[in-house]
Amino acid sequence: MKQVWERPLTASPQPRGTKVATSRNPRPLAQWQVNVLRVGYLFMGGGLAIIKWPLLFGHPTWGVAEGTKECLFIAMSFLALLGLRYPLRMVPILLFEVTWKLIWLGIVALPAWVDNDLDGALRTEAGAVALVVVIIAVIPWRYVFAQFVMAPADPWRRRP
């Protein structure tokens, strides 16, 4: 007997042209929405790859904080590029990207902007972080709400 938590996240194979709504995904996404999501992964993963991957091969010695940050960005770029292949499975990496950037903008950039102290490196960083609007625009928010808020939670323990 297969338990609830052992079910795959995807529906069983269906004939071409049919879409099945499941409790985990009540409204399937249109193909154009999935492809727009892929554009977001390419924007995020490709941009980070162009900027951060060269640092793997010719970087100066990093301190703990900078090394941690750079390695995190490189890992995120790999995961975002994996989203090109599995766009719906990798939505959490986009949610992480949006979350940390909105927190940073609200806690670091906004107070500096209000105090008229947003200049130099902080202004440059705020401009780069503000590109999160592209990721916000490509995320299928109804799907995210249905999948991560309204769907039943995974059980905490096995039921007899």
pLDDT in tens, 118-155: 999 999 999 999 999 999 999 999 999 999 999 999 99
User: What is the predicted pLDDT for the residue at 26?
Assistant: 56
- Count the domains in the chain: 1
**How far apart are alpha carbons 80 and 97 in whole angstroms?**
10
- Is residue 135, in this structure, part of any structural domain at all? yes
Q: Which amino acid is at 23?
A: S
Q: In residues, how long is the chain?
A: 160
Cα–Cα distance for residue pair 72/101, rounded to 1 Å:
14
- SS3 for 145? helix
Give residue 4's pLDDT: 37
- How confident is the prediction for the chain on average, in pLDDT? 86
- Render pLDDT for 47-83 as a digit per residue (tens, 0 to 9): 999 999 998 887 778 899 999 999 999 999 999 999 9
- Is 117 a member of any domain? yes
Q: Is residue 8 included in any domain, yes or no?
A: no
pTM for the structure as a whole: 0.78
In a domain, 156, yes or no: no
In a domain, 20, yes or no: no
| pLDDT 10s digits, 21-57 | 455 545 789 999 999 999 999 999 999 999 999 988 8
Owning domain of residue 55: 32-150
Which long-range contacts link 9-17 to residues 24+ away (Cβ below 8 Å)? Answer: 9/89
79, part of any domain: yes
Look at residue 137 and tell me if it is in a domain. Answer: yes
Percent of the chain at pLDDT > 90 equals: 74
